[in-house]
Chains A and B, each alone.
Chain A
């Protein structure tokens, strides 16, 4: 099978070839670059939604319920669910798919033609997504999936990788996951566009909601204050001011609050489409993936020279200088 045929298959909605294309990209087979080059012009139509939060807050269940809700609204849904790979063996237990609802024969998400679910191991990448998650999203986008849900590795203090791929980021929290300081640490408040308190029938939900809203209001004040300083990053500040981050309550396994969540996700997309933030985010994404690809090439070149370093023929500082100079020359 040549790349041309695979690209054709992906675009025309052939699931089998889409599945194989993802494998090619994920395993970084030699033809993956050509494949992505041909896929890229067909991307940019999907709304990419990142779902992140601590382990066990209900990310997978929310993904399943949101999928159901978007299907009810007539949208096709692609899902990329990332789970951690072992840093020791490289193995991974990919346990997100099993939350996908298959019980109801009339809306069985496992068999729905307009739903495509793919599990990924993080394969050594930090930040909540895998190195190739961005490319897998592009493949789903080119295949015509309208809503793409990206479920990150469950963690929550450094899952900023999702920003590189998502248009809308949903952060899921639940009662009793720590006090206000946990949420005030850099990361969580900054990456979310929408906040969800799941399992909100558990005791303590009011507390989480109260301090989360308080922290977000502080966040807004900070943004306004900082915007008065000339050295602040204008674009980012404007982005923050144009969207007031909502806090929602859900009980995902019972389906409570899911409709409202889907509404907010749609509303966020409309707002960023209108105010130009979406275009800006996408330019930023394209830039980041170009940088990443370039860095990857350079990395493999450095690895080739690793042996020299090991033999102490050359110290790492000199080697680094040499590599940079060589790269900049050509």
Chain B
């Protein structure tokens, strides 16, 4: 029985996790297995968790404004730890200015969701985009 596994991560000094927790709860109700990292993780910790837990989706929540230094580092460390971020959906949620979208996309981010995004939109995005990314974990 296959289940989509999602890592919901809080990186850096940002202490606001209501959004991340609400999203985790909704994704659970949508039938995903959701692993929540808790607050104040480093990019290395998030990357290590993504690889060891063999997740399909990495959702990084940031409300601190530090997305430009932190998000690309998570992706870089996933690769360093032997994971393949190209086979994962990398999502970023939070207060991200539109001007920063291209930079994040260039770093390998697949979806960016700003405050006010209906959760159903995020779920729809995962369900539509994940099959395109993942070649299947079975041989």
Contacts and interface: CB of A to CB of B under 8 A. Distances in A.
A123 to B, nearest CB: 6
A98 B139 contact: no
Interface in A86-131: 86, 89-95, 97-99, 102, 108, 110-111, 116-119, 121, 123
A163 B25 CA distance: 31
Interface stretch (B32-40, B88-96, B97-105, B110-118): B32-40
Contacts of A92: 3, 28, 33-34
B113 to A, nearest CB: 19
Interface in B45-72: 45, 48-49, 51-54
A91 B82 contact: no
Contact of A19 (B35, B37, B38, B51): B51
A30 B30 contact: no
B34 A14 contact: no
B76 interface: no
B2 interface: yes
B52 A15 contact: yes
Contacts of B29: 86, 89, 91
A206 B66 CA distance: 48
A94 B33 contact: yes
Contact of B31 (A91, A116, A117): A91
Contacts of A14: 82
A19 B52 CA distance: 5
Interface residues of A, number: 38
A121 B45 contact: no
Contact of A27 (B3, B28, B35): B3
A16 to B, nearest CB: 3
A255 B16 CA distance: 27
A98 B37 contact: yes
Interface residues of B, number: 33
Given A16-B81, A31-B138, A93 B2 contact: no
B124 to A, nearest CB: 16
Contact of B33 (A31, A108, A121): A121
Nearest to A121: B33
A102 B28 contact: no
Interface string B13-29: 00000000000110111
A65 to B, nearest CB: 16
A156 to B, nearest CB: 22
A99 B54 CA distance: 19
B36 A98 contact: yes
Given A90-B3, A121-B33, A27 B44 contact: no
Per CB-CB distance, the 3 closest pairs between chain A and chain B, nearest first, are: A98-B38, A16-B82, A29-B138
22 contacts: A14-B82, A15-B81, A19-B53, A20-B137, A27-B1, A27-B3, A27-B137, A29-B139, A86-B28, A89-B28, A91-B27, A91-B31, A91-B32, A92-B34, A93-B25, A94-B36, A95-B36, A97-B35, A97-B37, A102-B45, A110-B48, A121-B33
Interface of A: 1-3, 14-16, 19-20, 22-24, 27-31, 85-86, 89-95, 97-99, 102, 108, 110-111, 116-119, 121, 123
